[in-house]
Structure formats: structure tokens, C-alpha cells
């Protein structure tokens, strides 16, 4: 394993453990996690591998095969910059339960595609430290730790979906998570049996203001819930009545969140009935709601969805936080080429940067490699 070789070359000994955690795509349930709602992501085959040995002092020595050069040595948590914040954030959240560590990282999550490489990084390191220090944390506790590192250390007010998908997913299955109770269950997603694939369309665009817009959406939802006198938008039962009491952005955000939760439940119903071929309409409705009510799509994502449908996809939607990143399309295997051709041609015509296509096969969550 090349991460072990890199660890040995930099730190002069073998790592005591090696863990891998994957990135994710979300099938449906977007911007519902921080509204205490439902999500249905699955892990992708790409992820982050962390080779780790604990240290007795509080120093962290870090290297990444994706950032060539000498290992970064951090004596205090405040020195962490860039990608190192996700790792040091996890150590910081573990507090006195751990001291320092030597860590080598290798990742193959396509960068900028919105497939949660940061959650994969947090969960791989958290799982390795949990193992080494015998902390006895469950996969969900590891996910919560990663989320806390991102919220409190990195300063991104994300929900629990990405870390939970990375920690709890199972091969060939999607993860249904109730983001309030944190109860979860995996559901078979046997696409191949139906001659179907989920195609990731990476727009290769990532808008700089995404972080600020995310925090703004979250604040709008919280404000709408306060006005409606409910703990979270998940608790809205009378949508029509709620919409009458709201206006502007808060009205639109509420419309999206409440209907998106229903779409997750409807999609699960179809999967349970073995009707995976029928989920396309829900994916399309989710995209329109994210575009028009939640206002987190982008011209590139809209075009990816539109052209994928024109090329014969059964359904398509943006996935993840939005403002760039990727779309997912449900495609019959014999239409894969025509969908890709349709999206590529539409992008070329609009003068957009060529998109990248990736096949999404539901993969296994965090696990130990050595
Ligand atoms: C990002 C966040 F990190 C998730 O918690 C989730 O809110 C998602 O955007 C939108 O569904 O990936």
C-alpha cells in the first residue's frame, strides 16, 4: 500500500493501523439533514486512507500523498491550515482522549466534485484513532465527531449526512437516516439487476460563495421554524398553513424541506417495493425544488440534468450542497453513452468546461485495512 510506504519513508516505522473511509453521493434528501429530516445517501468507491501511529506528546505530524513535500509538523492546533484542519479538528474534538499522532493520508475522491472528501478524511482519521486508543466509539459516534470537527473547528455548519454516509454505509445498499433520532437502516440498491446505473456528472465547477450561501440557507430554515413554533422544519405537518404564515425566502425554503422529506419517504417506498426503475420522477422533482425553492443549483447543474434527461436518463438531480459539484442521473445501461454524449454536447454548445462522468456503485463504509 503506497500510504504505508510513504508513512515509513517519512516517519521511519510502519503505521500501527490503516483505515479507509469513503466519500458519498446523495440519492435524495438534500438540505434536510440540518432540518432534522431524512436523507438517503450511499458511499462511493473513492475515499481516504489514513495510516496512523499515536504519539505521546501533543505534536501532530501529517503528510498527504496529494500534497507532495515534507510532512507538516503542528505543535498546536491553531497552526492547522487548509486540508490539515479536518485532521487536527478531529484530534481537537477528541480532547484529552488522545495526545498527538503521526498520520499519512492518501485520497482518491475526485477533488471538487462535491463527493465529500472532507467527511472521508475526518471519518478515516477518527476511526483510526478510535481503534488505536480503544475508545469504543460506534460508527455513528465517529460520524458525529467528524461533524463536530467540521462545525466547531473548520467553521462549516454542515449536517450529519456526509459523515454518517462515510461511517455507516454498506456495499450495494443506500443508507436511510433519520437525522433527528439518528436511527439508520441500509436498503438494498440493486441497480444492476434492473439494468440501471447511477451516473455521476461532475460539472467541474465549484463556486466560491458556496459556504456562505449554505450557512444562509440553514439560518433561513431555523428562522422559519421559529416563526412556525416548531423545533425544526421536519415538524411541519400542515404545509399549506405554514406557507400562509411565511413569506419570501423562508417560505420557499420551507416548501423545499417539507416536500423533500416526503420525497425521501416515497422513494424508500418504491425501493422496498422493488420498483427502483420508478424513482426517476422523484429525482426530477427534487432537482426542480432545489433549483426553484431552495435556490442552490447552478447553470451547469441545471444543464447537466436537462441534457441527461434529453439523452434518455430516467431521472436526474443535483446532489450535495449545490452551487457546483455533481449531479446524479439514473440511467438504463443501454442509454449510458447517449446520456453522456447529450451532456457533453450541451456543455460544449454553452461553452462550459467539459464535464466528467463517473459510475456510482454503492460501496462499503469506513473499515480497517491493516
Ligand atoms: C453538504 C453538507 F455537508 C451536508 O450536511 C448536507 O447538508 C448537504 O450539503 C446538503 O444536503 O454536503
344 annotated among ligand-binding-site residues: no
Residue labelled with grid coordinates 421554524:
225
Q: Residue 207: its pLDDT value, please?
A: 74
115 annotated among ligand-binding-site residues: yes
Q: Which of 212, 321, 322 to mutate to test the pocket of ligand 1 (most atoms within 8 A of CB)?
A: 321
118 annotated among ligand-binding-site residues: yes
Q: Which of 43, 81, 45 is nearest to 64 (CA)?
A: 81
Ligand 1 pocket, residues with Cβ under 6 angstroms: 26, 30-31, 33-34, 158-159, 161-162, 320-321
The CA distance from 242 to 245, in Å, is 5
The CA distance from 167 to 322, in Å, is 22
Task: Taking residues 147-156, report their average pLDDT.
Answer: 96
Mean pLDDT of the chain: 96
pLDDT, one tens digit per residue, over 58-102 is 999 999 999 988 899 998 888 999 999 999 999 999 999 999 999
| Residue of 106, 162, 292, 302 marked active site | 162
Q: Are 161 and 37 in contact (CB under 8 A)?
A: no
Q: Are 263 and 275 in contact (CB under 8 A)?
A: no
The x, y and z cell numbers of residue 199, run together, are 451516473
Strands 324-332 vs 196-206: parallel, antiparallel or unpaired: antiparallel
pLDDT, one tens digit per residue, over 311-320 is 999 999 999 9
pLDDT, one tens digit per residue, over 252-306 is 999 999 999 999 999 999 999 999 999 999 999 999 999 999 999 999 999 999 9
Say if residue 172's pLDDT is above 80: yes
Q: Residue 209: its pLDDT value, please?
A: 65
The CA distance from 91 to 70, in Å, is 21
Portion of the chain with pLDDT greater than 90, in percent: 95
The CA distance from 349 to 226, in Å, is 45
Select the more confidently predicted residue: 242 or 79.
Answer: 242
162 is catalytic: yes
Q: Which of 353, 358, 364 is nearest to 109 (CA)?
A: 358
Q: Strands of the chain (E only): list them.
A: 17-28, 38-55, 60-64, 67-74, 100-107, 173-178, 184-188, 196-206, 315-318, 324-332, 356-360, 367-368
Q: Roughly how many angstroms between the first and final C-alpha of the chain, as a whole number?
A: 10
Q: Which of 41, 162, 218, 293 to mutate to test the pocket of ligand 1 (most atoms within 8 A of CB)?
A: 162
This model of the complex carries an ipTM of 0.99
Name the packing angle between helices 299-310 and 336-350 (round to 10°): 140
Residue labelled with grid coordinates 510506504:
5
Query: How far is C-alpha 12 from the geometric centre of its chain's CA atoms?
Result: 35
Q: Which of 346, 356, 340 is nearest to 202 (CA)?
A: 356
Amino acid at each position: 500500500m503506497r500510504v504505508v510506504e510513504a508513512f515509513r519513508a517519512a516517519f521511519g516505522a510502519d503505521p500501527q493501523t490503516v483505515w479507509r473511509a469513503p466519500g458519498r453521493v446523495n440519492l435524495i434528501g438534500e438540505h434536510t439533514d440540518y432540518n432534522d429530516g431524512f436523507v438517503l445517501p450511499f458511499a462511493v468507491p473513492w475515499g481516504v486512507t489514513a495510516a496512523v501511529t499515536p504519539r505521546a506528546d501533543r505534536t501532530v505530524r501529517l503528510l498527504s500523498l496529494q500534497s507532495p513535500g515534507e510532512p507538516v509538523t503542528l505543535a498546536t492546533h491553531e497552526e492547522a491550515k487548509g486540508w490539515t484542519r479536518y485532521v487536527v479538528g478531529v484530534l481537537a474534538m477528541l480532547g484529552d482522549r488522545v495526545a498527538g499522532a503521526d498520520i499519512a493520508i492518501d485520497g482518491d475522491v475526485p477533488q471538487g466534485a462535491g463527493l465529500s472528501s472532507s467527511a472521508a478524511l475526518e471519518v478515516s482519521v477518527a476511526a483510526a484513532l478510535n481503534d488505536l486508543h480503544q475508545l469504543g466509539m460506534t460508527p455513528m459516534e465517529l460520524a458525529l465527531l467528524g461533524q463536530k470537527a467540521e462545525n466547531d473547528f473548520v467553521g462549516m455548519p454542515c449536517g450529519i449526512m456526509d459523515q454518517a454516509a462515510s461511517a455507516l454505509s454498506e456495499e450495494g445498499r443506500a443508507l436511510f437516516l433519520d437525522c433527528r433520532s439518528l436511527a439508520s437502516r441500509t436498503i438494498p440498491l440493486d441497480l444492476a439487476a434492473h439494468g440501471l446505473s447511477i451516473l455521476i456528472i461532475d460539472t467541474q465547477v465549484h463556486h466560491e460563495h458556496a459556504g456562505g450561501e449554505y450557512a444562509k440557507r440553514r439560518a433561513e430554515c431555523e428562522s422559519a421554524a421559529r416563526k412556525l413554533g416548531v423545533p425544526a422544519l421536519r415538524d411541519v405537518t400542515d404545509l399549506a398553513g405554514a406557507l400562509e404564515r411565511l413569506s419570501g425566502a423562508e417560505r420557499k425554503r420551507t416548501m423545499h424541506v417539507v416536500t423533500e422529506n416526503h420525497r425521501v419517504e416515497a422513494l424508500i417506498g418504491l425501493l422496498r417495493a422493488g420498483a427502483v426503475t420508478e424513482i426517476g420522477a422523484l429525482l426530477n422533482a427534487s432537482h426542480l425544488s432545489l433549483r426553484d425553492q431552495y435556490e442552490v443549483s447552478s447553470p451547469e447543474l441545471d444543464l447537466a440534468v436537462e441534457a441527461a434527461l434529453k439523452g434518455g436518463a430516467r431521472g436526474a438531480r443535483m446532489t450535495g450542497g449545490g452551487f457546483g459539484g455533481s449531479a446524479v442521473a439514473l440511467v438504463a445501461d443501454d442509454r449510458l453513452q447517449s446520456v453522456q454524449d447529450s451532456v457533453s454536447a450541451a456543455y460544449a454548445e454553452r461553452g462550459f468546461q467539459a464535464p466528467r462522468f463517473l459510475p456510482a456503485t454503492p460501496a462499503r463504509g469506513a473499515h480497517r485495512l491493516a
